[in-house]
Structures are given as C-alpha cells and as structure tokens.
Structure 1
Amino acid sequence: MPDRLPQGFTAAGVYTGVKRNPNKKDLSLLVSDRPAVGVGVYTKNVVFGAPVQLNRERTPSESIRAVVVNSGVANACTGEQGYQDALMMAEKTAAACVAVGQDFAGPDVLVMSTGIIGEMLPMEKIAKGIDEASKILASDEQSLIDAARGMMTTDTTHKIRSRSFEIDGTTIQVTGMAKGAAMIGPNMATMLGVIMTDAAIRVEDANAGLKDAVNESFNCISVEGHMSTSDTVLLLANGAAGGPVLEGKALAMFQATLVEVCEDLAQSIPADGEGASHLITVEVHGAATREDAVKIARTIADSPLVKTAVAGADPNWGRIVSAAGYAGVEFDPSKVCLHVNSSLLYERGVPVEFNAEEISAAIRENRDTHLVLLLDEGHASARFWTSDLTAEYVRLNADYHT
C-alpha cells in the first residue's frame, strides 16, 4: 500500500537554491485545509535554533494550518535576525497560501530548519521557494515524497511511514515524515519529524500522546550521542476523517498507531546513519525499572567499542557486557545473559562456547544486528536503536562544513 497523506492535507517540495545541488530539494510545505490541533516536542539543548523558539511559542494550538521546512541552513546561533527570519518564513507562507485560495494567518504556521548552524537564511531564495511550493500543493504520493525529500540533509533516502485503522466505520490515517542521519541522541538529535493525522483529537490528548510516542521511539535512537540545536517533532490533527473526537478505546487505538509510525520512522534514522553498515537493535529485559532498562540499553548503544565491533563483525560479548556494567544501574552480574542475533554468547555471568566464525558471518552478512541482554532484577524492558561506527562516518563528518 503506497504512503499517502491523511485527508485534508496537501504537500509540496521544491529546490530553492539554498543547497548547491539542484537535484536535491531544500524546501517543504505541508498545509491543512482546516485548522488543526498542533503540538510539538523539541530539543533539550539550551542552544536551540530560532524555529524551535517560534514553535514553542505557538504550540500547543488548535488552529495550525501549515508547516514550512527548509534544509541546508539550520537558522541556529543566528541571534535576533534569525528569529525575525523564522517569523518571516511563517508570514510568507501564510501570504502565499492565501494567494492560492487558503485562508489563514502567520500565527497559524510552524517553521522548521535544518542544516549548517551559524549561517543566516538566504531569505530571498526561501521566499521564492515558498511561493513556488504553494502553487503546486497536492495530496498525491509524489507530493508527499517531494516534501519528505525537501527536509533531507545528509540522509541517503527520504523517510515516510503510514498506517491506518478503522473505528466505527471511519478510517483514520496517520502519516509521518522525518529526516536524520547523524548528530542523533540523546533526546532525538539532528532530526525533524512531522506526523499528520485526519483524526479529531483534543489538544491535551495530542500533547500527551506525542510526548509518550517520542519517548518510545525518537528518544530511543542514537548514532553518536551528539544533541542537536534543531530537533523538532510535530503532530498535526485536523479531524478531516469525520466522526467524533477520539476518546476511550478509539483514542487508545490512535495512540498505538502513533507509536508504531514513530517507531518505524525512528528505526529508519540510525538505519540511514552516516557511513553506517548496520542497524543495531539493543534490547534489555528483566530490569528493575524501565528507567534502568533504558539507561543500560542507551549505554550499550552509545559505546564506540560496541559500535566498532559490530562494524567489524566481531561478536565481542565483553564490550557489550562491560558497557552494561558502567551504565550506573545496580544489577547482579552473575545472572546476566547475552544473545547476539539469537545466539547465546554469555550465560549467567560467564561466556559460553560458540562458533565465532558463524556468528561473525551472521553479523557481516546482515544489515540488522540484534543484541539482547537479559537481567534478573524485575520485569521492565527497553529497546534502543543505533548504527555501527565506520571509517566512512569519520570521513563524512571530517569533511562536513560548519
């Protein structure tokens, strides 16, 4: 089933000239044909971009009509002029959409920017791009793909995920798009995400639901643990599917679908990690609390030695177990077990005999690597996604212009 926009949404992606490569789109526009509930989760970095400041001021809201995104320049560390430029992007978007028949104002527009920090936005190029995008807004699959591509920086592919469910004869669509490939984790990282739905949701339910979904997904990914200045995940719900405001069982079904879409998008980010050759899934089971499980999983995922071992297809159980040991969580090491790609390497505190060549081949020949750590402290679990660390990652980031 092709990815599609929820009812009432249109999208466009264009090239404005902000990026050097004319084959790479660098501006995206998403528009709802009616006021939408809009909520957001943002970077926890005390150094944050002007769009983050603007969106924090405008969300939660019950009247969002559009999101405009530029890539190539992050509009971060740009002072008061950067904030004025973000405001101008919102106002220009409103004016351009009014000119093509929409009816809303600047405060109804959210803004996202990603790319190089410390540079001013080329506003003339961006303004022309907004005009162009507003004239080609459409609801077809290609327009959604173009918008997803307009968000990309070092991503190698666009990232879109869609799911739907039915409640009392009404089909609800949830579609998300995201960008991200490096500076990932903790607390999201250099990533942007927009989740759209045609469900009718109260603003307080949308706000709480997005925070929970982000904690289960985008806050459980890492590439190298560098927190960004621009992280933003937005949820827009416009109610265009019809039916009553979701509550009870219907709201629970929506929340489960929202988490699934966010998890799908979250996994796609480290899978596309700069220079990555493996997506690593770290699972921790049997922890005393979920907080403990998350802390151990994150520590393993962030370990450069674990990441390089996977890059080299080395079933190095010692690096994984020792990373768990310095996570700052108390547990009985004599009860720990470890599986790598379903093979037992370590049981109740000691290594077991295993065929190192076979397990190494299983790592080398598959892009997905699963590390499962079993404790015996309780019933809490956590799952974390990361990428391996390769020489290509070092090359890409050594060459990246700041």
Structure 2
Amino acid sequence: MADQMAVGLSSPERLAPVKGVRLAAVEAGIRYRDRTDLALIELAPGARAAVALTNNVFAAAPVRLCREHRGRTGRARAWLINSGNANAGTGESGVVAARASCAAVAQALGCAADEVWPFSTGVIGEALPAERVTAAIPAASARLDEDAWLPVAQAIMTTDSLPKGLSRTVTLSNGERYTITGIGKGAGMIRPDMATMLAFVATDAPLSQAAVEQILSRAIDASFHCITVDGDTSTNDACALAATGTGPVIEIGTPDYRICRDAIIEVCQHLAQSMVRDGEGASKFVTVQVENARSVDEARKVAMTVAHSPLVKTAWFASDPNWGRVLAAVGRSGLEGLRIDQVDLWIDDQSVLQGGEPSPNYVESLASEAMRREAFTVRIRLGRGAADAVIWTCDLGHEYVRINAEYRS
C-alpha cells in the first residue's frame, strides 16, 4: 500500500450489513506478512448475481474461470478474492490454482465448485501460492459474519491508501426498506473498458435475475466506464452485483426497479470516483466535461484523450493552466470535421477559449488558482451536436512514478 493521501476522501467508518451476505477476511500470506489478503463473501442460496469482467485479451486465470462458472450455472454462492497476486500471465498452472481455490471454498460451504466466482488482484506473472489460499479458507469460512464489509474492503487493497465503500438504504412502494452496500479497490492501472480495479455490490432487495444484469450494465456504464487514472486496463478488472432478497421479485421497468437502479448507480459512482481520488500519487480530482458533441461516444472520446494525456495531467499537477495541451489533445482525438472556431474551453468558471481563440476575459492567475484546489472541472464545448459526457480523472506527479517503480520491491 502506498504512503499517500486520497484527494478529498476518507475511509468509511462503517458499512451496513446486507441480509443474505456474510463475509470474512483472513491472512493467507500470499505476498505480504501481517496483513489480511484473502476475502470470502458468501451469498445466500437463491441469490441472483451478475458480473462484468475485463476486456483485456490477457485476462487472468480467475477471470477466465469466473466466466466459465458463470456460463455453466449462472449462479453464485460465493465470491473469493485474494490480493497480492493477480494470477495473470501464469498459464495453465494459474487455472489449476484458481480451480483448487474454488474447490476448497465449495467444500467449506457445501456448494458446487462452479458456484464459486474467483477474483485476484496484485502482481502479474507470478504463480499464485494455491496451497496458502486453500489452507486459509477453513478459517475464512469459520469467521463469516454479515458485519465484515469493511475488513473485506481492507483485505482486497493493493496500492490503495484506504478502503473504499458506501452503503445506502431505499424504501420501496410496499414500505419495506432495503440495504445496498458496495466495496471496491483500485488506485492505478485504471481506465474504462471494465476499469487494477475490483468492485463488489450487494442488496437484499428482491431484484429479478434480469433486473440484476441490467442494473449492473447500466451502473458500470455510468461509473467505472467514466474513470481513468493512467489509461491502463488491467488483466483482472471485475465488478459483481448480487441480490439476495426473497419474496415477490422486482422486475425491470417498475418504479421499485428504478429506485434500486438509481441507488446502485450512486454506490458504483462513489466507488469509481473513490478510485480516482485515490489514484496513485494523485493530488487533484479532475472532472473533464465535454458538451455539444454529435454523440455520447464522441464526447467520451474527446474527454478520454484529454484525461489520458501525460502532458495535460502533469500540467494539472503543477496547477499550470497550460490550455494549449488541452487544445492539442482535443485536436488529435480523431473527430472528423471538428471545427476549431466552434470550440470553447473553461477551467471551472474561468473562460479560457472562445471560438478556438483566447478568451478576452481570460485571467491566467485565476485559472491557476482554480487548479490549485483539490478538485476542479475542465469543460470543453465542441459546438457540433447535443450530446455530453463526463469523465473523472486525476493529475500525474512524481509519486505515481515512485509507486509504480517500486511496485514489485
């Protein structure tokens, strides 16, 4: 874990239990001593679950096995997560290690091995010590507790400076109150495309399987697909959602569905923004807002080009309103027929560019003052349509280089 401070973010004091979910965190000694590094999340029988996984071609062994298990049964009784080792780039032996881990969980919980979904995060290219994982699973199963969300959030951390999580409650049309709790990890190797990040969200609302799958898709598109720290998509990225509630199910399109959907999106957005705020070495949380594009995809393309530019991000780190770097990023984003004389640019409320030319109201000292805050917005208007998009990102400084240079030491 890095010696850093997250930007405007603190550790959650407590995360609310979710009926039908029990959790545990234990020390398995996978890479580090004297810290928890293995987490087990048990879901009640009949829980509906969905997962979104990385699009990286070199997907880790647990990602491949998770896809296999999900496709075979569609059911999940447990999520097993280890930190310290990504079990990626490990060939067939990595798959064997992941299978052994799932089999040990199945034996401990009395479920089928393909009802266990495995997840890993950490160093790529090193063999997962499966014997340490399997040896720790009995202790994990013995400690399962519904009030262990925060210890699990701590156990799955790698370069994170603090655990990330949020709980929300919703009241549905029948007057019943339900809980939504989510945790996540991620500080580097973060970008959309299933932006190394992991996130786990659960609710005791009785959502149908179809509702769980659709809500997860929409929540990811509105959260994890809107963040970037360094432009790298991990081999292990994953986000899972489970609904454990019993009784009449909540179907897609109903008022109760929309209430649950909006609350789950809020939780996922908090987790996503927390990853950016905890970006390795980050000192600024930056919102890149692109307006008046021809499509949302076009707006996101421009926002991502700006957010991924090392020149732009290092200027942000220095609180330097070097708007020429932003303009250059917009210009190379690949938009066909983009007209410079229709592009406007702001840093917070400070007008920087109007119609592709320096704004007559621009005051560089005020722009620099805005950028010295821990959070500010870069707003770009393209003047070619009605579509908008927002991307959340951070600056890039000395600490990012140090953390990643020393990552395996």
Q: Deviations over 1:147-195 (max 9, x none)?
A: 0111111110111122221112122322111111111114134111111
1:261 aligns with 2:272: no
- Cα distance in structure 1, aligned partners of 2:201 and 2:21: 11
**1:62 Cα deviation after fit:** 5.1
Secondary structure in structure 1 of the residue aligned to 2:321: coil
**1:396 Cα deviation after fit:** 1.4
- Cα distance in structure 2, aligned partners of 1:12 and 1:360: 46
Contact 1:280 1:369 in 2 (8 A): yes
* Aligned partner of 1:318 among 302, 324, 328: 324
1:152 aligns with 2:165: no
- Cα distance in structure 2, aligned partners of 1:318 and 1:47: 36
**1:373 Cα deviation after fit:** 1.0
Matching of residues 296-311 of structure 1 within 5 Å: 296-311=302-317
Structure 1: gaps spanning 5 or more residues: 99-103
**For residue 374 of structure 1, what is the aligned residue in structure 2?**
381
TM-score w.r.t. length of structure 2: 0.91
* Aligned partner of 2:52 among 23, 41, 66: 41
TM-score w.r.t. length of structure 1: 0.93
**For residue 12 of structure 1, what is the aligned residue in structure 2?**
24
- Cα distance in structure 1, aligned partners of 2:355 and 2:47: 53
Matching of residues 3-402 of structure 1 within 5 Å: 3-22=15-34, 24-59=35-70, 63-98=75-110, 104-140=111-147, 143-168=148-173, 169-240=175-246, 242-247=247-252, 248-330=254-336, 331-352=338-359, 353-364=361-372, 366-401=373-408
- Cα distance in structure 1, aligned partners of 2:178 and 2:332: 44
Q: Deviations over 1:116-166 (max 9, x none)?
A: 1111111222123222121111122xx111101111111101111222211
Query: What amino acid does structure 2 have at the position aligned with 1:356?
Result: E
Contact 1:92 1:127 in 2 (8 A): yes
Deviates more, 1:42-51 or 1:248-257: 248-257
Say if 1:322 and 1:231 are closer, same or farther in 2 by CA, change over 3 A.
same
Contact 1:188 1:221 in 2 (8 A): no
Secondary structure in structure 2 of the residue aligned to 1:12: strand
Structure 2: gaps spanning 5 or more residues: 1-12
Contact 2:56 2:233 in 1 (8 A): yes
**For residue 3 of structure 2, what is the aligned residue in structure 1?**
none
Contact 1:308 1:389 in 2 (8 A): yes
- Cα distance in structure 2, aligned partners of 1:387 and 1:176: 22
**For residue 101 of structure 1, what is the aligned residue in structure 2?**
none
**1:39 Cα deviation after fit:** 1.2
Q: Percent identity?
A: 38
**1:11 Cα deviation after fit:** 1.2
**1:243 Cα deviation after fit:** 4.3
Secondary structure in structure 2 of the residue aligned to 1:222: coil
